[in-house]
Amino acid sequence: MKKAIEKRIGIIGGGQLGKMMILEAKRLGLYVVTLDPDADCPSHSISDEQIVADFNSAGSIAQLAERVDVITYEFEHINAEALAELEA
């Protein structure tokens, strides 16, 4: 039996690309938390958790960071300042 990788991935954005990333993450046994302002975004039904909040909110990004091991985006418009704060 294949042992699941015990890592949590955070994805900022729950659109079609996020949904495709989650499908692959699930195939690897990963836990996924998404951050999206739309409670009905495309990935809401397959995310393990979803934070419904603004993409650019530093507080929401920090909340996501507390729940996961790594964060990625599913789109190109990022809040670089919030990420710099997390890195610090």
Nearest to 23 by CA among 40, 3, 9: 9
Confidence grade of residue 75 (pLDDT, cut at 50, 70, 90): confident
More reliable by pLDDT, 88 or 8 = 8
Per the structure, the count of domains in the chain is: 1
Nearest to 9 by CA among 82, 78, 81, 65: 65
How far from each other are the two terminal CA atoms of the chain, in whole angstroms?
40
pTM of the model: 0.85
Residue with tokens 């190109």: 76
pLDDT of residue 70: 94
3 lies in some domain: no
- What confidence tens digit (pLDDT) does each residue in 4-51 have? 567 999 999 999 999 999 999 999 999 999 999 999 999 999 999 999
Residue that is written with structure tokens 């704060």 in the block: 85
57 pLDDT higher than 90:
no
Provide the CATH number for the domain around residue 37.
Answer: 3.40.50.20
